[in-house]
Structure 1
Amino acid sequence: MLANIRIVLVQTYHPGNIGASARAMKTMGLTKLVLVNPRCFPDPEASRMAAGAEDVIDNARIVNSLAEAVSDCVQVVGASARLRSLPLPHFDEPEAMARELVANADDPVALVFGRERFGLTNDEIRCCSHQVSIPANPDYGILNLAQAVQVLAYETFNAWRQQPESLYRHPRPAEERQPTREQLEHFHEHLGRVMRQSGFLTQPHARTETQLQALFSRAQPSRKELSLLRGLLRSLEPDSTVARSTSEDDRT
C-alpha cells in the first residue's frame, strides 16, 4: 500500500530541498518521488541532503507537468493554503487527509507540494482532487518544503500503520475503486462537450465547468458509477458523435 503513495514536488528551486524531502519520505516508508520540472536535478546537493535516502533520489522520476505526474492516480491531494476561489474538497486536518489517502491506496495516490516561494498555481490545484493545509501558528505559519513533506508523510505513515490487517489482504474490487485523474479528465471533457451541444452552455463558462468538476470531486464516484455517467452522456449526444465518444470511453 505504501508503494502506491507518491510524493510529487513541483518546480523545486533548491536541489537541497529535494534531498531533504527524500530523507523525510524514507523515514516514513515512502519511496516514490516524482519531480515536475526541477530547476537543478540531479545535483550533488540533493544527494548530500538525502543523508541515507540516496536510493529515493536515484529512483526519482522526472516529468514535464503535474498532469503527467498524477494521470494514473485515483486521489491527488495538493498541499496549500485554502483557496476558496477553487471549491475543491479541503482537509483542514492532515490526519483526516491521511486516513482517506491510505484508504484509496489500492491504486496510485499522490501528495503534491509546490514551489518554495509561492506553492501551486490555480491550474495545478485543478489537477488535484483535494487540498490539505497544515495547521500552524497564524502569526508565522511558514514551513520549509521538506518540513511540510515530513508532516504529511508522518500522518500518512501513521494512518497506514493503524489500518486493519484485513484491508491489506482484501483490496476493493476494481469497479468499486475511484477513477484515475485521466479517466475523470475524459469524463469532464465529455460532459463539457454534451453541455455545449445541448445549448446549456452557449458561450465559454469556465466557472460553471469548474463548479461541476468540484461537485464530482466531492461526490467521488466509483469507476462503475463513472461508466454509468459516461453511458448517460453518450445517450444524449447526437448520432454523429456517438462513435467518437465510444472510442474515447475505451481509453478509460
Structure 2
Amino acid sequence: MKRPFEIRIVLVRTIYERNIGATSRAMSNMGIEKLILIDPKCEITYEAQQAAATGQTGLQNRTTYASWDEFMKQEPESIKVAFTARDGKGRQVRDVDEVLKDIADKAPQFQVESDVPYVVHLVFGPEDWGLAGEDLEHANFCACIPTFGDNWSLNLAQATLLGMYSLRRTWGGQRTKLDGGKVRRAPQGIDGIDPEATLKTWLEEMGFDLTRQRKINVFTVLRRMLLQNTPTKKELVILETVLQQSIRKLREWKEFQNRNR
C-alpha cells in the first residue's frame, strides 16, 4: 500500500450500550480512535463506560448521526466495508481477509503515493438482525468473519474486535510492546541453553570425556532428559544459572588445588 490509511468504526442502530463500550475498548487495543454511531437505539450511560474500561477514547470522542444520509454528508470520501453473516442475493459476501487484501492490492485509492491518509469505514449492524439490505447499499464491500462452529452469530463487540484484528494482520500497524519489554535471556524451546557452551562445558569440568564419537553418551542422554519436555523460559534460565554456577565453582576448586600443590 502506497498510501497511509485511517480506520473508523461504524455501528448502525446498536441496541445495547455495553456493546458500544466494549467496542471502544477493542478499538483501543487495535489503535483505532474514531467511533461513529448511526441511529443508535440506546442511551450512553455509565454501563457503556464500564464496558469500555481502559479504552474510553472512542466512546468519549464518538460521533453520532441520525441517519445514513447525515453520515454520507458529513463523513469524508471512503471505502466502506460492511460486515454481515448473511450471504443473500446481491450481497456478494467474502471472507474479510480476502476483501482487505483486494483493497490493499487493487483499490486505486491506495495505488497512488500520498501522505494524506485515506479513510476506510468498517460497518457493523445491530445485534438482532445485523445490517439490512438498505444499509449494504452504502457499502463498497461486504465481508464476513469466518466461524468454525455451529453458532455463526457473533457478539457485536467480538465481531468488531475480530474485524479490526483482521485488518491489522493484513495491513499492519505499530505493534504494541508487551508489558515489561525486557529481553529474555533464554528463548522458548530446546535452544534455551546452549548445549556447547553450557551443558558440554559443565560435563567436561566434571571430568567426562566427550571427545569419543558416540551416538549416545552422557551429553546426549542428559540433553534429552533435561529438554525433552520443552521447558518454559523460566525453567531454562534456572537450569542455565545452575550449570554456570557449577562451572564457576568447579573452576575455583581446581584453581585452589593447583595453588596448594
TM-score (norm 2): 0.56
Whether 2:96 is the aligned partner of 1:85: answer no
8 Å Cα contact 2:85/2:152 also seen in 1: no
- Residue 108 of structure 1 aligns with which residue? 119
8 Å Cα contact 1:78/1:130 also seen in 2: yes
Q: CA deviation at 1:36?
A: 0.7
8 Å Cα contact 1:22/1:53 also seen in 2: yes
Q: CA deviation at 1:69?
A: 2.8
**Distance of aligned partners of 1:57 and 1:102 in 2 relative to their CA distance in 1, 3 Å threshold:** farther
**Distance of aligned partners of 1:102 and 1:73 in 2 relative to their CA distance in 1, 3 Å threshold:** farther
- Residue 150 of structure 1 aligns with which residue? 161
Please tell me the root mean square deviation across aligned C-alpha atoms, in Å.
Answer: 2.4
8 Å Cα contact 2:14/2:125 also seen in 1: yes
Gaps of 5+ in 1: 164-252
- Residue 25 of structure 1 aligns with which residue? 27
- Once the two structures are superposed, residues 32-83 of structure 1 have per-residue CA deviations (whole angstroms, 9 ceiling, x without a partner) of 1100111223211111100111121010000012343355333111100244
Aligned residues: 161
Among candidates 109, 112, 121, match of residue 132 of structure 2: 121
Matches within 5 A, 1:115-194: 115-137=126-148, 139-161=150-172
**Distance of aligned partners of 1:67 and 1:73 in 2 relative to their CA distance in 1, 3 Å threshold:** farther
**Distance of aligned partners of 1:157 and 1:43 in 2 relative to their CA distance in 1, 3 Å threshold:** same
- Residue 239 of structure 1 aligns with which residue? none
- Residue 12 of structure 1 aligns with which residue? 14
Q: CA deviation at 1:86?
A: 1.8
What amino acid is aligned across from residue 41 of structure 1 in structure 2?
E
- Residue 43 of structure 2 aligns with which residue? 41
What amino acid is aligned across from residue 152 of structure 1 in structure 2?
G
Identify which range, 64-73 or 24-33, moves more after superposition: 64-73
- Once the two structures are superposed, residues 138-196 of structure 1 have per-residue CA deviations (whole angstroms, 9 ceiling, x without a partner) of 52111100000010100112223279xxxxxxxxxxxxxxxxxxxxxxxxxxxxxxxxx
What amino acid is aligned across from residue 60 of structure 1 in structure 2?
R
What amino acid is aligned across from residue 30 of structure 1 in structure 2?
I
TM-score (norm 1): 0.58
Higher helix share: 1
Between the aligned partners of 2:140 and 2:25, the Cα distance in structure 1 is 26
What amino acid is aligned across from residue 35 of structure 2 in structure 1?
L
Query: Which protein has the larger Cα radius of gyration, Structure 1 or Structure 2?
Result: 2
8 Å Cα contact 2:85/2:153 also seen in 1: no
What amino acid is aligned across from residue 153 of structure 2 in structure 1?
I
Whether 2:50 is the aligned partner of 1:51: answer no
**Distance of aligned partners of 1:155 and 1:4 in 2 relative to their CA distance in 1, 3 Å threshold:** same
Gaps of 5+ in 2: 111-116, 175-261
How high is the sequence identity, in percent, across the aligned residues? 32
What amino acid is aligned across from residue 17 of structure 2 in structure 1?
P
Between the aligned partners of 1:2 and 1:42, the Cα distance in structure 2 is 32
Q: CA deviation at 1:108?
A: 1.4
**Distance of aligned partners of 1:157 and 1:46 in 2 relative to their CA distance in 1, 3 Å threshold:** same
What amino acid is aligned across from residue 159 of structure 2 in structure 1?
A
Between the aligned partners of 2:34 and 2:135, the Cα distance in structure 1 is 20
Between the aligned partners of 2:4 and 2:50, the Cα distance in structure 1 is 25
